[in-house]
Amino acid sequence: MTNTTSPTSTPKRRIGPFNVTAIGLGCMNLSHAYGVPPSADVAEALLLAALDLGVDYFDTAALYGFGANEELVGRVLSPHRSRFMLGSKGGMTGVDGKRVIDGRPETLKRNCEDSLRRLRTDVIDLYYLHRWDKRVPIEDSVGAMADLVREGKVRTLGLSEVSADTLRRAHAVHPITALQNEYSLWTRNPEIASLDACRSLGVAFVAFSPLGRGFLSGKLRDVSSFEPKDIRRTMPRFEPSHYAANLKLLDAYASVAQEVGCTQAQLALAWLLAKGEHIVPIPGTTSVAHLREDMAALRVSLDADIVDRLDTLINQNRVSGSRYNAATQTEIDTEEF
């Protein structure tokens, strides 16, 4: 049930014209979202370790740390720019200390200029619309982003947290290279329509939060220890009553990991890789040890029986609590069960 590949045969996947290692790095939590971020030295060491481990797709956004994450990525990785594919996002940024979704063409172009400066690069390989601003037709937002491609500031375009229908509308304006939505054993919404839409359109599916924001690692047992600004405090699945119910799912899951001969985090990532050749997970971490663990999932190959068993063990019918609270839910466009 497990196969080990040699270091010289690191699995690769396509994101548009780019051939990248099948697991990338989400850089968000080096600056944002899960409480106090790590020190600059720790964050720098993590990024350089990722590069040394073969990570060649780094994913950031203007929102993360209100620009701080892009500045970090730019400062640390710009000397190595030829070694990796760079993805960032606009259309959701920090304005006067508050998160603002703004998909107007002039805003997106200004966001891109700001990102290029912070990232210390002349071009962003994959530029996403971070959230669809529903006050602005998707065609208008993508049209402005297409201008950035024509101007040579961006190589390819992506979307985040949108539905299959919105993806198709955007793709009709300009080819979309990647759709980035949350996908893991406990968030199965992409299976409704977006995975199939990506496959039919030739669009890569970039899976964020592939470890369920820590849940699927098996290491997150006490949600009461979250720091005050940890965004998981606002997510129903992490409320104590829901989380207690969800923890009960992990015993059988841990048994499967033991049977396969891998960690629980590696099992979650291997499951995603088995769900489609067009899927690229981007786990995030602040720990080099966890980073090595995640990348070792590239050497775990699951047979169809294990995939089916995992599908049954943890899915939308067994997880307690919704993904987002009601306010956040209104901001996204993804399909819901």
Catalytic residues: 64
Strands in 57-59's sheet, in edge-to-edge order, are: 25-26, 57-59, 85-90, 124-129, 154-160, 176-182, 204-208, 279-281
Beta-ladder partners of 159? 129, 179
Q: Residue 29 corresponds to which amino acid?
A: N
Structure tokens at 144: 């402005």
What ranges in the chain are assigned the alpha helix state H? Answer: 40-52, 68-77, 105-119, 138-150, 164-173, 194-201, 240-247, 250-260, 264-274, 288-295, 304-313, 326-329
Does residue 120 contact residue 74 with C-beta atoms inside 8 Å?
yes
Does residue 220 contact residue 247 with C-beta atoms inside 8 Å?
no
Beta-ladder partners of 181? 207
CA distance 255 to 218: 11
CA distance 237 to 218: 15
Does residue 227 contact residue 36 with C-beta atoms inside 8 Å?
yes
- Residue 152: exposed, middle, or buried by beta-carbon count in 10 A (0-12, 13-18, 19+)? exposed
The CB density around residue 327, as the number of other CB atoms within 10 Å, is 8
Buried b (16+ CB within 10 A) or exposed e, 300-325: bbbeeebeeebeebbbeeebbbebbe
